[in-house]
Amino acid sequence: MGGEDGNFQSLAERLAKVEKKHDMLDVYINYAASAQASEGTDASWQTRFANKELRLELKGNLTDKLYYRFRHRLNRRNDAQGSDNFSKATDLMMVGYDFNDKVSLMAGKMCQIWGGYEYDTNPMYIYQYSDMCDHLEIFQTGVTLSLKPVPTQELAFMVSDAHNGTLEETYGTDPILVSSRNDFRELEKANHPLTFIANWNGSFFGGQLQTRWAWGIQKLAKGQYSRMITLGQKLNLPEVQWYVDYMASFDDLDRLGIVTSDLSSSFHPVYDGYQVAQPYSEYLYIYYMPPMNLHCGNVHYHSWITKLNWQFAPQWNLMLKGTYETASMQQIEAFKNYRKSIGWIGALEYYPDKTQDLRVFLAYMGQNVNYTKESYLDSHHSNRIELGFMYRIKCY
């Protein structure tokens, strides 16, 4: 959900010079832009100016128990999806009710309550997601029950849609599941395509050690499930914050799509749209067969993420981040742990105005993706340098 907001002054307060008396309406514009230099596939460098994020956000507390939140991406398509009737551009549209200090209920479109600290960060502040986080479809319509037996411990339970769209919108027309060389089957829609998540958020030693763990199961299609575990732990000191996240997904049907993107062409019984038939007499018949819409099955993903923030001087922050990720198709020997990805990011951030959530940054990020020789895929790498700003503008 983006975490807690700091106590920043709104533009309306600065213009009108009137102290805000209530928190029924807060209006934010989340905007990030940068000048980028990126290394291309042919080792040449290219430059551009990019608008990274533009999201409108409204939230507030209507009473001491009832609250709401809305967040919408302005630089994404607005066509509604067939399952939840929301555009994927709408991150959040939810209402919540606090029965008391220990029990809360939220409903609407919201972020699924997976664990981990990269996952829970406001997307505007992420220079580059890990591969796994980058491919997750996390904003879903559902219901969340939150229980706080003590102020420092929270247990939450969520039931939501598994996807925003229908089976066809998500996986394409006539999707075929392939789990091994000889196992092809047509995907059928599930009658109850839902996600169930249990989450624990803990705080120890006055908030200096924090945890954000979760486990969940999702029904993606008839008879096809995804099981996911996320473990986030954070050291939260006054001038240093460091977290380590572990995420793992075990999918009957490739929900993230990374393995499918890499390997689906390996299973097509066609080459450039043509299949060669067995010889009949002295002739060889060649006929056209459209490529199948294949999706890989029985895939495993593992992701380790670590990130350090160090406020080494007033209004300055140094951020260092590293990722290590693997992907595997378990039932085929050549594709077991076929993909390993290593990513790294370093950023120097400057906060010019203490009353505003504004940072200017210089960042470098890179990634190496290595494939095993048995997969016959070409390893590749990327590098990018960015100079830009992130500004969570509190309008009111």
Position 88 in a domain: no
Position 257 in a domain: yes
> What is the model's pTM?
0.88
192-205: average pLDDT = 96
Positive or negative torsion for Cα 216, 218, 224, 229: negative
**Mean pLDDT of the chain, nearest integer:** 89
Query: Quick one: tokens of 66?
Result: 């009832």
Q: Is the pLDDT of residue 162 over 90?
A: yes
SS3 label, residue 117: helix
* Phi, psi (deg, nearest 5) at residue 193: -80, 80
> Quick one: pLDDT at residue 183?
81
> What is the per-residue pLDDT across 109-141, written as a single tens digit (0 to 9) for each?
999 999 999 999 999 999 999 999 999 999 999
* Phi, psi (deg, nearest 5) at residue 155: -115, 130
- Domain containing 139 equals 31-50+111-268+287-390
> What is the per-residue pLDDT across 326-384, written as a single tens digit (0 to 9) for each?
999 988 988 999 999 999 999 999 999 988 999 999 999 999 999 999 988 999 999 99
Position 274 in a domain: no
Identify residue 254 by its one-letter amino acid code. Answer: D
> Quick one: pLDDT at residue 276?
44
CA distance 67 to 53: 25
Count how many Cα atoms sit within 13 Å of the Cα of residue 177 in the half-sphere of its side chain: 21
User: What one-character DSSP code corresponds to residue 95?
Assistant: E
Residue spans of alpha helices (H) in the chain:
11-16, 117-120, 131-135, 167-171, 258-263
192-218: average pLDDT = 97
Position 18 in a domain: no
Position 341 in a domain: yes
Position 68 in a domain: no
* Phi, psi (deg, nearest 5) at residue 120: -90, -5
What are the start-end ranges of the E strands in the chain?
26-39, 45-61, 66-73, 90-98, 103-111, 139-150, 153-161, 175-180, 183-186, 194-204, 209-221, 224-236, 240-253, 274-276, 286-288, 293-313, 316-329, 339-350, 357-371, 380-394
Position 21 in a domain: no
| CATH number (domain holding residue 371) | 2.40.160.10
Position 153 in a domain: yes
User: What one-character DSSP code corresponds to residue 21?
Assistant: -
> Quick one: pLDDT at residue 81?
81
Looking at the structure of the chain, the number of domains it has is: 1
Q: Is the pLDDT of residue 275 over 80?
A: no
> Quick one: pLDDT at residue 85?
86
For residue 217, with 0-12 CB atoms within 10 Å meaning exposed, 13-18 middle and 19 or more buried, which class applies? middle
